[in-house]
Amino acid sequence: MPLTTYWLEHAWLDTHVEPGVALTVSPSGSATDPADGRIAAVRTGVDTPPPGAVVLRGLTIPGLANAHSHAFHRALRGTVQVGSGTFWTWRETMYTVAQRLTPDSYFALARAVYAEMALAGITAVGEFHYLHHAPGGTPYADPNAMGEALIAAAGEAGIRITLLDTAYLSAGFGAAPEQHQLRFTDGTADRWAERVSALKERDGVRLGAAIHSVRAVPADQLATVARWAQDREAPLHVHLSEQTAENDACLAAHGRTPTQLLADHGVLGARTTGVHNTHMTDADIALIGSTSTGTCMCPTTERDLADGIGPAVALQRAGSPLSLGSDSHAVVDLLEEARAMELDERLRTRTRGHWTAAALLRAATADGHAALGWADAGTLEAGALADFTTIALDSVRTAGPVPRLAAETAVFAAAAADVRHTIVGGRRIVRDGIHHSVPDVGQALADSIAALRG
């Protein structure tokens, strides 16, 4: 297949914005499959587009990595913003939506959600997947039908997926699953491992594991999930200390914090990511950092659910790589998540400048991809996967600043609506703000969500 040259008016090259960059890419696979296309060469100082080059005007950055997604939560947008309540009342609404999904309706919804992500410049998603079985807990004929629906949806939307298949076994510290949680559970970690082992990686798809939380996986079964991931050198994610109530219950049940409990059972490590890491002691932070366990911050969801502001600065200083996720999809905008991490910290500390724009972009790109097992993505350099996105610099939000400040403009002013092009595996998935296979993403979202209403 012939090489394609993209001419980037401005490109973010990890540390700075470079004008006039030519990327030569070697696409492969089909138009709907983000296969292993890679960047073959990067040339700087190319003032004008080479003959035949695809011109991308604006700022081109590596594709964004959404390190934490629950696709079906997109159906909650708007509904759960009515009135007040807590994380725990929000969860009851979430259970209602979860009960109505089938493999077919989940595919339709996830395809639209992943297309929305592509429009927002996201080229890889980590899907924290725990909706496994039919209502009542009966397995489908294919026990992985729901996971396969997510994989197929990502393929049609044109983005890469790491399916973080999630062990969810308990209603809380040994309590049997409640009725609305029966769809989530395999009964034991061994049976979870048997089911998930039947899934196979393929082009554009990587497999990982997840522990829903220390309240949902009994302590004596944590190591089974950790070993499954370790044996496959796969990513392992876990909701961690999102709520003070979980911390209190863990202390009551085990006499230690959730972080300490995970450490005792071999869960922490360089391929592990704690999602949220909001309510942590100094000892917890030191454990996370000393084991190089990652931290995925989801600021919009954490604000929406009134969870709190996590100690991201302290965690990173301790040695925890940071990534970002849209989680419940109150919005799908990784640029918003990046700036929110900085702005929330400013509110908490009443000081400015905790991260540079470059550091925030790295969390949204290279470090996010690494957390999902795509260490060969997230940079614009030869040999990397040819996944990148272009942000307009002439919109009402981004017009005005000089081009050398384009990274600051993107992080602190731009929105998902400013994404013009998204390329995955060297192929344009989004062109001029239009998705190639889902031309009306809004209608696809509306139709798939309407189908779930009771």
Phi, psi of 128 (to 5 degrees): -85, 95
Secondary structure (DSSP) of 357-405: HHHHHHHHTHHHHHHTT-TT-SS-STTSB--EEEE-SSSTTT-SS-GGG
User: Under a CB-based contact definition with an 8 Å cutoff, are residues 181 and 171 in contact?
Assistant: yes
47 in active site: no
276 in active site: yes
- Both tokens of 108, joined, read 């339709």
Paired sense of beta strands 64-69 and 4-12, if any: unpaired
- Both tokens of 10, joined, read 């401005």
User: Under a CB-based contact definition with an 8 Å cutoff, are residues 131 and 72 in contact?
Assistant: yes
Q: Which of 327, 333, 344, 387 is catalytic?
A: 327
pLDDT the model gives residue 135:
93
Q: Is 110 helix (H, G, I), strand (E, B) or coil?
A: helix
pLDDT the model gives residue 185:
97
d(CA 21, CA 44): 5
Q: Going by C-beta distance under 8 Å and a sequence separation of 6 or more, which residues neighbour residue 149?
A: 103, 104, 106, 107, 110
pLDDT the model gives residue 30:
45
d(CA 5, CA 54): 6
d(CA 166, CA 325): 17
Radius of gyration in angstroms for the set of CA atoms belonging to the chain, rounded to a whole number? 21
pTM: 0.96
Q: Which of 212, 276, 354, 435 is catalytic?
A: 276
pLDDT the model gives residue 78:
81
Whose tokens are 């012939």? That residue is 2
- Both tokens of 61, joined, read 């950055």
Name the E strands within 27-92.
38-43, 54-62, 64-69
Paired sense of beta strands 388-391 and 54-62, if any: antiparallel
Q: Going by C-beta distance under 8 Å and a sequence separation of 6 or more, which residues neighbour residue 84?
A: none
Task: Give the pLDDT confidence of 288-340 residue by residue, as tens digits.
Answer: 999 999 999 999 999 998 999 999 999 999 999 999 999 999 999 999 999 99
pLDDT the model gives residue 188:
97
Q: Going by C-beta distance under 8 Å and a sequence separation of 6 or more, which residues neighbour residue 227?
A: 266
Instruction: Kindly tell me the sign of the dihedral angle through the C-alpha atoms of 69, 205, 185, 294.
Output: negative
d(CA 406, CA 358): 11
Sites in the chain below the pLDDT cut of 70: 1, 27-35, 83-90, 454
User: Under a CB-based contact definition with an 8 Å cutoff, are residues 9 and 57 in contact?
Assistant: yes
pLDDT the model gives residue 33:
44
pLDDT the model gives residue 34:
45
Task: Give the pLDDT confidence of 87-99 residue by residue, as tens digits.
Answer: 656 677 788 888 8
User: Under a CB-based contact definition with an 8 Å cutoff, are residues 282 and 260 in contact?
Assistant: no
Q: Is 266 helix (H, G, I), strand (E, B) or coil?
A: coil
User: Under a CB-based contact definition with an 8 Å cutoff, are residues 388 and 60 in contact?
Assistant: yes
